[in-house]
Chain A
Amino acid sequence: MRFALTDEQQEFRDAVRSLLADTCAPDDVRAAWADATLAGGGPGGGDGRVRRAWSALGEMGVLGLCVPEDHGGLGGTDEDLVPLLIEVGRAGLPDPVSSTAGVVVAALRDHAAPGVAATWLPRVAGGEVAIGVGFEGAGTVPAAASLDAFLLSDRDELHLVERTGVELEPLETVDGARHLARVRWTPSEATLLAGGTDDLREGFGPVNETFDRAALGAAAVLAGLSRRMLDMAVQYAGERQQFGVPIGSFQAIKHQLADASLAVEFAEPLVLRAANSLALGDPGAPAHVSMAKAAISDAADGAARASLQVHGAIGYTVEYDLHLYMKRAWALAVRHGDAAFHRKRVRTAVLGV
């Protein structure tokens, strides 16, 4: 029994944290917005990507982390990637790291025909392609116009569709760095990546596993976003003076931030455990992912709310950075299943009703 990151995982995480601090500063996130006014500054005209951070992650090996070694990657697992996705959240990086390096890689690695895997995996590891993931129902994908391909579900089938095979309907989102689009496409033999399943366990099979991995990715990013917002609130409360003292000395502020951080502190272990379960194909993995996504979605909403309140009016402006992370948290809290959706999955697993 050992429930902690390995030294190696911690070192990799620290390296990614510092890399993203350099390459994905708040103004880089702002520049990913299309509308400079809504972003609160920046050049405008962004497409939901921070390319210098993306290429730096590629060079560091993050994008190929879970790609098997014989396809040019590092042969890592969800457990290795999830701590890095937390850093992606902390930086507010809008790029499709979770979908490309986590969800798509696993689908190609575990379910694709060898030829298909051999075509795509080295390109992912080389940082040459960015791939999004969308599921039947919502059918939306972020940073869509910038992507090279899409992993899409159709009933119990997974399809990998190139950019030329889809039509995109751009959607207006609260977080202007999302660049979400509804994807229209037609499944065909040519796009089929994996269909049906030999795995008869309830909740498994390619589409279910892909959904779980996408939900886990969102959960990890939410953990990082929550930490970022709370760090900002703590720093601000330590500096901002009213009544002649820092506002962070007031218990009304202390207790709000203690409660918000408490929820994040106890949601994060659920996220790490789900990564372990998914990596091992544990039969509890779907429920574990849902526990994580339910808890962190609520915790992130709470962190956003407390951080905004602690900042007061300055947090209510777009010139201040907080909104960049808060709006992302709102988006991801409802992406790939909101808290209520995931609690219902847990409920079925635990209560049987």
Chain B
Amino acid sequence: MDLNWSGAEEAFRDEARTWLEANVPRPSLPSGDTAAGFAAHLDWERTLHDAGWAVVSWPRAYGGRDASLWEWLIFEEEYYRVGAPQRVTQNGIFLLAPSIFEFGSPAQQDHYLPRMSAAVDLWCQGWSEPNAGSDLAAVRSRATRDDDAGGWVLSGQKTWTTRGAFCNYLFGLFRSDPESERHRGLTYFMVPLDADGVTVRGFGRLDGDEGFAEVFLDDVFIPDDDGTPATMERGGILGEVDRGWGVAMSTASSERGLTLRSPGRFQATASRLVDLARQRSSDGQLTELLADRVTEAWIAAEAYALYTLSDVTDIAEGRSPGARSSYNKLFWSELDVRLHEVALELLGPDAELVGPWTTGYQFALSGPIYAGTNEIQRNIVAERVLGLPRK
């Protein structure tokens, strides 16, 4: 066990901190889940990219700096510590990209990854449908083969697509074998949202932002990928036809696990919670009970950070966390709710006012729902980690 950072890692931290402190926009940007805010966030994404900070752990050829996972963790810590903007590119860089690295052809990697890190292609997720939420294998959107035209025709409806109204590409699952059921016969498609037959309708989330969208696909043609940018710009298939479930599960494990939810995010929230508690204490408003609740939440944030260190150690040494990523998702999503709940208790009657904690609280409440509800995660932990019978 060695819980110290190396000299090189500390130097990396200094470099990241110095750059972030000099470049993070002040005052902070409007929400990236509104049209105006999204545009401002895109400028920030391009600033990050131009300085080489957009995707630190990716190869240089794709816009990264070949940083280790440890350095990625450090970067995330600094990113959240300084209060930098939310990443409107996150569904691409944290969810789709790991699957492209794993399943994409070299031509797909060369085409999609640099455009993604440069925030040229902005990706949203097209998994859920009106009748396929937790039961993702129930997707009904179809992909029909058109041999004459040399491609696939997509039809159906996707929903709860975060930032769908602002993105220009969607990745999602479509039923390519009409005879198939459940998780067989699905194909993982990448779809340009400006293609003929695509209609996107944004709608308000709990917090009022137009962060959600439904995406209607009405005979949308995706040409066969001949390895040229011209066809890849018009979409394509990731992995093999009818084998999309496995690709989607690799994405799901990224979403549930650590790549999307770095500990830095919760440690930063826990620090702000401690600041708020100190302020209450100096106003003589901090009760014993609340002080205890703050401490409990702080300890949980520490536990999450340490758990992540052991995950990264495992990954660095070639051991896969596998279904344990469901533990991870359960813990961070509930931790995030708890940190905000305690903050609202500290705020007392001010907790009905619009502000960072109430906004954050509403956002945190989505955590136990998205990326596979926590009920589904508990099933996964029970069946695949503990070994309880499926039925």
Where the two chains meet, the residues of A that have a C-beta atom closer than 8 Å to any C-beta of B are 1-6, 79, 230, 234, 237-238, 245-246, 248-249, 251, 253-255, 257-259, 261-262, 265-267, 269-270, 272-273, 276, 291, 294-295, 340, 343-344, 346-347, 350-353
B239 to chain A, nearest CB (A): 30
A40 to chain B, nearest CB (A): 26
Chain B minimum-CB-distance residue to A80: B1
Please indicate the chain B residues that have their CB under 8 angstroms from the CB of A346 in the complex.
Answer: 295, 298-299
Chain B minimum-CB-distance residue to A1: B70
- A273 and B386 form a contact (CB under 8 A): no
A287 to chain B, nearest CB (A): 9
A26 to chain B, nearest CB (A): 21
- B310 and A276 form a contact (CB under 8 A): no
Q: Which of B2-10, B28-36, B159-167, B357-365 interfaces with chain A?
A: B2-10
Bound Cα distance from A255 to B383, whole angstroms: 10
Choose among B3, B9, B304, B314 the residue with the greatest number of A CB atoms under 10 Å from its CB: B3
Bound Cα distance from A120 to B143, whole angstroms: 77
- B388 and A347 form a contact (CB under 8 A): no
13 of the cross-chain contacts (CB-CB < 8 Å) are A4-B317, A234-B387, A234-B388, A246-B389, A248-B388, A249-B388, A254-B388, A258-B382, A269-B307, A340-B292, A343-B299, A347-B294, A351-B295
Contacting A261 at CB < 8 Å: which of B296, B306, B385?
B385
Contacting A347 at CB < 8 Å: which of B4, B292, B378?
B292
Bound Cα distance from A340 to B70, whole angstroms: 34
User: Main SS of the interface on chain B?
Assistant: helix
- B278 and A351 form a contact (CB under 8 A): yes
Contacting A351 at CB < 8 Å: which of B277, B302, B307, B381?
B277
* B291 contacts chain A at the CB level, 8 A cutoff: yes
Chain A minimum-CB-distance residue to B390: A249
User: Main SS of the interface on chain A?
Assistant: helix
Q: Across chains A and B, which 4 residue pairs bring their CB atoms closest together, nearest first?
A: A254-B382, A269-B306, A3-B309, A248-B388
A228 to chain B, nearest CB (A): 14
Bound Cα distance from A4 to B1, whole angstroms: 6
Please indicate the chain A residues that have their CB under 8 angstroms from the CB of B314 in the complex.
Answer: 4
On whether A3 and B310 interact (CB within 8 A), knowing A266-B303, A346-B298, A351-B277, the answer reads yes
- For B358-377 the 0/1 string (1 means CB < 8 A from A) is 00000000000000000101
Please indicate the chain A residues that have their CB under 8 angstroms from the CB of B330 in the complex.
Answer: 258, 262
Please indicate the chain A residues that have their CB under 8 angstroms from the CB of B180 in the complex.
Answer: none
- B331 and A350 form a contact (CB under 8 A): no
Bound Cα distance from A1 to B8, whole angstroms: 12
Contacting A295 at CB < 8 Å: which of B3, B277, B299?
B299
A78 to chain B, nearest CB (A): 11
Contacting A352 at CB < 8 Å: which of B278, B303, B386?
B278
Please indicate the chain B residues that have their CB under 8 angstroms from the CB of A261 in the complex.
Answer: 381, 385-386
Bound Cα distance from A257 to B381, whole angstroms: 9
* B103 contacts chain A at the CB level, 8 A cutoff: no
- A238 and B388 form a contact (CB under 8 A): yes
- A257 and B2 form a contact (CB under 8 A): no
Choose among A79, A294, A295, A350 the residue with the greatest number of B CB atoms under 10 Å from its CB: A350
Contacting B386 at CB < 8 Å: which of A234, A291, A294?
A234
- A1 and B277 form a contact (CB under 8 A): no
On whether A265 and B307 interact (CB within 8 A), knowing A255-B378, A272-B1, A347-B292, the answer reads yes
- B386 and A257 form a contact (CB under 8 A): yes
On whether A259 and B378 interact (CB within 8 A), knowing A249-B389, A266-B331, A270-B302, the answer reads yes
Chain A minimum-CB-distance residue to B295: A347
Please indicate the chain B residues that have their CB under 8 angstroms from the CB of A295 in the complex.
Answer: 299-300, 303
Choose among A254, A255, A276 the residue with the greatest number of B CB atoms under 10 Å from its CB: A254
On whether A291 and B302 interact (CB within 8 A), knowing A254-B382, A266-B331, the answer reads yes
- A273 and B306 form a contact (CB under 8 A): yes
Please indicate the chain B residues that have their CB under 8 angstroms from the CB of A347 in the complex.
Answer: 291-292, 294-295
Bound Cα distance from A350 to B286, whole angstroms: 14
Besides A261-B386, A269-B309, A347-B295, 5 new A-B residue pairs in contact (Cβ under 8 A), listed by A number:
A1-B5, A251-B379, A254-B379, A266-B307, A350-B298
Chain B minimum-CB-distance residue to A353: B281
* B391 contacts chain A at the CB level, 8 A cutoff: yes
* B231 contacts chain A at the CB level, 8 A cutoff: no
Bound Cα distance from A294 to B293, whole angstroms: 12
- B9 and A1 form a contact (CB under 8 A): yes
Please indicate the chain B residues that have their CB under 8 angstroms from the CB of A4 in the complex.
Answer: 1, 310, 313-314, 317
Please indicate the chain A residues that have their CB under 8 angstroms from the CB of B327 in the complex.
Answer: 262, 265-266
Please indicate the chain A residues that have their CB under 8 angstroms from the CB of B304 in the complex.
Answer: 266
Bound Cα distance from A246 to B386, whole angstroms: 14
- B388 and A257 form a contact (CB under 8 A): yes
Please indicate the chain B residues that have their CB under 8 angstroms from the CB of A257 in the complex.
Answer: 382, 386, 388
Bound Cα distance from A295 to B389, whole angstroms: 29
A290 to chain B, nearest CB (A): 9
Chain A minimum-CB-distance residue to B3: A276
Please indicate the chain A residues that have their CB under 8 angstroms from the CB of B40 in the complex.
Answer: none
Please indicate the chain B residues that have their CB under 8 angstroms from the CB of A265 in the complex.
Answer: 307, 327
* B252 contacts chain A at the CB level, 8 A cutoff: no
Please indicate the chain B residues that have their CB under 8 angstroms from the CB of A6 in the complex.
Answer: 1
Q: Name B250-307 residues within 8 Å CB distance of A.
A: 274, 277-278, 281, 286, 291-292, 294-296, 298-300, 302-304, 306-307
Bound Cα distance from A334 to B304, whole angstroms: 24
On whether A267 and B303 interact (CB within 8 A), knowing A258-B386, A351-B274, the answer reads yes
- B390 and A1 form a contact (CB under 8 A): no
Bound Cα distance from A257 to B294, whole angstroms: 26
Please indicate the chain B residues that have their CB under 8 angstroms from the CB of A2 in the complex.
Answer: 1-2, 313
Bound Cα distance from A345 to B378, whole angstroms: 32
Bound Cα distance from A270 to B301, whole angstroms: 11
- B375 and A269 form a contact (CB under 8 A): no
- B387 and A238 form a contact (CB under 8 A): yes
B372 to chain A, nearest CB (A): 13
